[in-house]
Amino acid sequence: MRVVFINPPMAVTEQIYTKRVARQYTSSAYVLPNTSIAYLAAYLLKAGIEVRIIDAFALRLSIEETAEQVRQYDPGAVCYSLCTQNFLNSLSWIKGIKERTGKPTIVGGLQMSIYPREVLSYPEIDYGVIGDGWETLPELLRSLEDRADPSEVAGICYRKDGEYRVTEPRPGNLALEDVPFMARQLLPNDRYTTVMTRQWPITIMLSALGCPLRCAYCDVPAGRYQARSPEHVVEEIAECVNRFGIREILFQDETFTLNRSRVLKICDLIRSRGLEVDWSVRARPDYVDREILQAMKGAGLSKINFGIESGNPEMLKKMNRDIPLDVIRQAVRWTKEEGITTLGFFIIGFPGETPDDIRDTIRFALELDCDFIQVNKMVPQPPSPVYRELVERTGIDYWREYTLGNAAILAELPGIGSSFEPAALDRWQRKFFRTYYYRPGYMFQRLKKIGSIKELAGLARAALSIR
Ligand code: B12
Ligand code: SF4
CA distance 67 to 122: 19
Given a cut of 80, whether residue 288 has pLDDT beyond it is yes
The CATH number of residue 104's host domain is 3.40.50.2300
Can you spell out the DSSP letters for 346-386? Answer: EEE--TT--HHHHHHHHHHHHHH--SEEEEEE----TTSHH
Write the CA distances from 366 to 196, 314, 353, 369, 436, integer angstroms: 20, 19, 19, 5, 7
Nearest CA to ligand 2 atom 7: 254
**How many domains is the chain built from?**
2
For residue 284, give the CATH number of its domain: 3.80.30.20
Cis-peptide into 75, omega within 30 deg: no
pLDDT tens digits for range 399-412: 999 999 999 999 99
Closest ligand 1 atom to Cα of 114: 83
What is the CA angle 56-58-59, rounded to 5? Answer: 60
Reported in sequence order, the residue ranges of 275-323 that DSSP labels E, i.e. its strands, are 278-283, 301-309
According to the model, what pLDDT value does residue 449 have? 80
Q: Distance (Å, rounded) from C-alpha 162 to C-alpha 432?
A: 50
Q: pLDDT tens digits for 56-97?
A: 999 999 999 999 999 999 999 999 999 999 999 999 999 999
Stretch 349-364: mean pLDDT: 97
Q: Which of 135, 387, 110, 380 lies closest to 224 in space, CA to CA? A: 110
Over residues 124-129, the mean pLDDT reads 98
pLDDT of res. 13: 61
Domain final residue, candidates 120, 151, 166: 166
Residues 242 and 133 both lie in one domain: no
- Cα 402 from Cα 391, distance rounded (Å): 14
Residue 467 has pLDDT above 60, yes or no: no
Q: What is the pTM of this model?
A: 0.96
Is 461 a residue whose pLDDT tops 90? no
- In the structure, what pLDDT confidence band is assigned to residue 195 with cuts at 50, 70 and 90? confident
Note whether 64 and 134 are same-domain residues: yes
Domain-embedded: residue 250: yes
> What is the number of the ligand closest to the CA of 9?
1
Measured over the CA atoms of residue 131, residue 126, residue 106 and residue 24, the dihedral's sign is: negative
Q: Are residues 303 and 446 in the same domain?
A: yes
Q: Whose Cα sits closest to atom 4 in ligand 2?
A: 215
Answer positive or negative: Cα dihedral of 92, 112, 406, 425. negative
Residues with CB under 6 A from ligand 2: 211, 213-215, 218, 220, 254-255, 284, 307, 321
Confidence of residue 11 (pLDDT cuts 50, 70, 90): confident
* Model confidence band, residue 17 (pLDDT cutoffs 50, 70, 90): low
Both 440 and 341 in a single domain? Answer: yes
Please give the pLDDT value at position 1.
Answer: 85
Say how many Å lie between the CA of residue 346 and the centre of ligand 2. Answer: 13
Tell me which of 139 and 195 has the higher pLDDT. 139
Query: Mean pLDDT, the chain, as a whole number?
Result: 93
Are 68 and 204 in the same domain?
A: no
CA of 392 to the centre of ligand 2 (A): 22
Q: Considering only 8-17, 33-42, 292-301, which range has the smallest mean pLDDT?
A: 8-17
Mean pLDDT, residues 364-387 taken together: 95
> How many CB atoms within 10 Å of residue 342?
21
> In the structure, what pLDDT confidence band is assigned to residue 215 with cuts at 50, 70 and 90?
very high
446 pLDDT band, cuts 50/70/90, is: confident
Structural domain boundaries enclosing 247: 193-379+414-465
- Predicted local distance difference test score (pLDDT) of residue 23: 67
Nearest-5° Cα angle at 345, 342 to 346: 140
Residue-level pLDDT at 21: 66
Asked if 62 and 113 sit in the same domain, the reply is yes
Q: Does residue 138 carry a pLDDT above 60?
A: yes
pLDDT value for 245: 98
- CA–CA separation, 151 and 166 (whole Å): 8
Distance from residue 364's CA to the centre of ligand 2 (Å)? 20
Q: In this predicted structure, what is the pLDDT of residue 219?
A: 87
Ligand nearest to the CA of 208: 1
Q: Residue 197: what pLDDT? A: 87
Model confidence pLDDT, tens digit, residues 296-344? 999 999 999 999 999 999 999 999 999 999 999 999 999 999 999 999 9
Q: Ligand 1: distance of its center to the CA of 467 in Å?
A: 30
What local confidence, expressed as pLDDT, does residue 4 receive? Answer: 98
Question: Are residues 197 and 162 located together in one domain of the fold?
Answer: no
